[in-house]
A and B are shown apart, each in its own frame.
Chain A
Amino acid sequence: MFHIYCPYCEELREEEEFHPKGQAHIARPEEPDACNDEEWGDYLFFRDNPRGIHHEMWLHAVGCRKFFNITRNTVSYEILETYKMGEQPTITAEHLAREEKTAREEKTDSAQVAEGGQQTVGASDAAVASIKGAQA
């Protein structure tokens, strides 16, 4: 069971009160008449199915009956944030990837400073390859 924070009711509510309503932030083409069949078909029917961060619309069906957005991890089912319609997410896949990269770089730096010998735990793949290369 999820406890979902409704940004309109401003409190955590039971999952039973909500309905998922599919992918969020799908922009309607500015000029539908100018779309070819593929563009229009993509807009109408085709949805992302990412592994990891996904932005979804949910409806507080038994409650305030408002739509809002959820950023959810499709692997862990963790709900990372909820935000109102019309707002942009603060947590995105790119944002997380950037954070992870920074964290990895920091880790690599400190690992190299800490020990001069064969250090594989916490080192990046490139660092491991260079160590192995030096030993060979």
Chain B
Amino acid sequence: MSNSVHVYDARADHATVTAESPLAYSYQRSGMPAPGEASGEESCAVIGERAFLGHLILRGGAIVLDEALREVLGIGLPGRPNSLNVDAEGQRSVQWLSPDEWLLIVPGDETFGLETRLRAQLGGAHVAIVDVSAGQTLIELTGEAAHEVLMKSTVYDVDPHAFTVGKGVTTLFAKTSVILRRPDESRWELIVRRSFADYVYRWLLDAGEEYGIGVARESRHESQ
């Protein structure tokens, strides 16, 4: 069955076109204020895009996918709803999206190899793997006021005591939807759709103004 699926490397090295993150245009149009630039004080909220990561959607039965993923990547599927598993290095993660759907995020250059190995491992199992890397991007939100910026933006309870580390949900954010997750104590991650990335970026800049929000520049220069 896996032989009949056409799989191709979306990040092939021979590509002559320069890849641009979904926020490339926003940086030009709306600017990239440095943290604390506007207020002159220390910034309590910092956003940074982690562009060009590999996003894979896994759909199918939990048991068969869990076994294959443990074999290939060494991390298992989160068993509970709204939870997130991160590997020891913090580079790869799997998140529960729905009872038969998970989001796998890995460094961009691993995506194709991982998909190929997963397909080989799964054989003829009834599953679907879709590379959605080009369709969405990951924005990191850090700083002591990070959860306050979120409180202004989402209906979900983002109190750090309620939204514990290792949790991840799909919810409303301003007038759009995001996948919101908390991989560790200090970081929040927002996974936004490409077509809404500019909107979310500008919303964050506006909502975070009172906390002196700024954009971390280092995290966006992860070229292909």
- Hey, which bits of chain A sit against chain B, CB under 8 A? 8-11, 13-14, 16-17, 62-66
Contacts and interface: CB of A to CB of B under 8 A. Distances in A.
Given A62-B171, A62-B172, A65-B98, 8 more contacts: A8-B81, A9-B81, A16-B155, A17-B155, A17-B171, A62-B177, A64-B97, A64-B101
A-side interface mostly: loop
A14 B173 CA distance: 12
18 contacts: A9-B81, A9-B169, A10-B80, A10-B81, A10-B82, A11-B81, A11-B82, A13-B156, A16-B155, A16-B172, A17-B171, A62-B172, A63-B170, A64-B81, A64-B97, A64-B101, A65-B98, A66-B98
Contact of B156 (A8, A14, A64): A14
B99 interface: yes
Interface string B132-163: 00000000000000000000000110000000
Contacts of B80: 10
Contacts of B99: 8, 64, 66
A5 to B, nearest CB: 12
A11 B156 CA distance: 11
B169 A63 contact: yes
| Range class of the B interface residue count | 10 to 19
A62 B156 CA distance: 11
Interface in B100-116: 101
A111 B162 CA distance: 49
Nearest to A64: B98
